[in-house]
Structure 1
């Protein structure tokens, strides 16, 4: 009678982590795509999360995301350390300030949540302003 193949605890944990990273990557990609169309949902951070998850779970999905015609450019500059285009940086900062303050003051009734939203907007602005800007000849 043949022996049953059993996996060690480390192999099972590795498999579970791989599937967890893959699942989070797919969900983050979905949110990133939604963020292209909805101004309050960030696109690039979700795509960067997806790239990080795919790098740990699936070379095929990672390659697909990084080489994608529309999604890839949002991720490649960050991954390569070459920066993001000035126009993308300007649009991102403008969208933060066109959407967060009106949301904070017109929709949110709690003062501490308003302050939290404004603090997040300031943090995102500082992060984007300090992130390297891609040379003008880069896509």
Structure 2
């Protein structure tokens, strides 16, 4: 049963990563990182496939080895968070949400920029 749960998480993560390829604003690599991690727990063949993937494998390996995030990815994530915060600011969301979500995104951006680069 445990193996099935790890595989389900891995498949869900891969699916979200694939959707992220075509849907702007939905990240791909974080979901693939999660898929590789879950695959390592219950689906070694999927983990190996992700680690050896020609496009996304190097990013997953860099993250695992050094916690590294390429500068281009940092800029893209920061830009998307900025756009999201701007859209939220002009939305009819409650004030608490308009303050809390951008604060959380700022903390994530700060953490992201402290990661080593590839």
Query: Which TM-score applies when normalising by structure 2?
Result: 0.87
Q: Distance in 2 between matches of 1:121 and 1:36?
A: 21
Runs of 4+ displaced beyond 3 Å: none
Report the equivalent of 1:133: 117
Q: Is the 8 A contact 1:29 1:46 kept in 2?
A: yes
Report the Cα offset of residue 85 of structure 1. 2.0
Which of residues 105, 111, 116 in structure 2 aligns to 1:121?
105
SS at match of 1:42: coil
Residue 31 of structure 2 is aligned to residue 31 of structure 1: no
Structure 2 residues not aligned, in runs of 5+: none
Which of residues 92, 97, 100 in structure 1 aligns to 2:84?
100
Residue 34 of structure 2 is aligned to residue 49 of structure 1: yes
> Which structure's CA Rg is the greater one?
1
**What whole-Å deviation, never above 9, does each CA across 1:46-79 have from its counterpart, x for those lacking one?**
1111111001001100001111122223312101
Query: Which TM-score applies when normalising by structure 1?
Result: 0.75
